[in-house]
Amino acid sequence: MDVSIIIINFRTPQLIINCLATIYEYTRKYSFEVLVVDNDPANGGGELVRAQFPDIKWIDMTYNAGFGRANNAGMALAQGRYFLLLNADTLLTDNVIDRCIDRMDSRADIAACGAMQYYPDGTPMPFYQSFNEFRKTFFIVPPSGFFQRVLDKLFPEPSYSDPEQYDWLTGAFIVVRRTVVHQVGGFDEDFFMYGEDVEWSSRLGKAGKLCYFKDCTFIHLENNNPYRRTNISWINRFSTQMQVSNLLWVRKQYGAVAYFLSILFNLFMIPVILLWKIIINIRNQGNPLADLRTQRIYIKKNQVLLRYFFKTLFKEKYLFKIKESENIDLHFTP
């Protein structure tokens, strides 16, 4: 078996049907199997998928295990010499799987590769190209050249001789060697959603290069999920689940001091953003407490982050999945 394609289902049967149709249409050169891991068998609509694609392997989880644990369950049963982790909300437009395996077969220096994500309208989807580029987005600073230069100095970009090499690969489409997974392990199972592909990439990168092939593309529909960010602003850049996972990644990859300083920075910014908004309100409206919605969201999200502080700091083995009541993006009330 050349490649095992692993897809996670969480109440998205039609998306998976559409995705599978493109896989079977375009993947001709290499043998493949499909494993679908269902994080909600009672409501996942698995019978619809299996009726159209009876040859796929179906794995039922007993709880909503999130992205990393479900993919680990799939990889544990996969038979291919390569694993392709593929989002349910994706569509292939050509033989991208065949071409990625061609590249991997010809280049033993590559541990894992990804393809470029495109929106349904055909425009390319932006992505973080390094760990440090990602970390710099955690800091809320004025959009000026001075502060950007300070961040660039603190978090310099890496330099690679290979133009296709990057720090990490997005979890929507990762082709990884089976031998590499056995060498470095699967996803860290403390992550529920978001951040797990970043942490995994840090370990995959120790076994070889991580490359994006820019002539290999796929469509990412970005299906809505209850943990996706809303109320996006300059100070609220991530959803609550994203922030919990991002800080967990910082703790695991960069240590306790980096994590503690990140939390400290977030708390320091609370009076800063409040004072800034109050001054603007006085100048524009005369009412210092007018329109503080964005600031309140920021405060509430940081209250949630503090609830996971000790578990994160002491690296407690735990599924870092926020409670429904902690999902500020869905349940914010002024």
Chain segment 177-195, per-residue pLDDT in tens? 999 999 999 999 999 999 9
**Residues in contact with 107: Cβ distance below 8 Å, sequence separation at least 6, in sequence order:** none
What pLDDT is stored for residue 145 in this prediction?
85
Tell me the residue type at 78.
A
Please say if the pLDDT value at position 171 is more than 70.
yes
Phi, psi (rounded to 5 degrees) for 165: -90, 140
At 49, phi and psi to the nearest 5? -70, -45
Pick left, alpha or beta for residue 58 (phi over 0 → left; psi -120 to 50 → alpha; otherwise beta).
beta
Q: Are 173 and 117 in contact (CB under 8 A)?
A: yes
Q: Examine the pLDDT at 114 and tell me if it is beyond 80.
A: yes
Is the pLDDT at 52 greater than 90? The verdict is yes
- List the beta bridge partners of residue 165: 211
Backbone phi and psi for residue 143, each to the nearest 5 degrees, phi listed first: -75, 65
At 333, is the pLDDT very low, low, confident or very high (cuts 50, 70, 90)?
A: low
Residue whose C-alpha is closest to residue 191's, from 69, 9, 39? 69
Residue 144's pLDDT is what?
Answer: 80
SS3 of residue 334 by DSSP: coil
User: Would you state the pLDDT for residue 54?
Assistant: 97
Please report the pLDDT score of residue 229 as a whole number.
Answer: 67
> Could you tell me the pTM of the whole model?
0.94
Q: Could you state, in order of their start, the residue ranges of all structural domains in the chain?
A: 3-129+166-220, 240-331
pLDDT at 331: 76
Strand order across the beta sheet in which 110-118 lies: 57-60, 32-38, 3-9, 82-86, 173-177, 110-118, 209-220, 90-91
Which residues, in sequence order, are bridge partners of residue 191?
Answer: 320
Q: What is the bridge-based pairing of β-strands 209-220 and 173-177? A: unpaired
Query: Is the pLDDT assigned to residue 151 strictly greater than 90?
Result: yes
What confidence score (pLDDT) does residue 223 get?
Answer: 67
**Residue 74 pLDDT greater than 80, yes or no:** yes
Task: Say how far apart CA 153 and CA 147 lie, in whole Å.
Answer: 10
14 Cα distance to chain centroid: 22
Domain range 3-129+166-220, CATH class? alpha beta
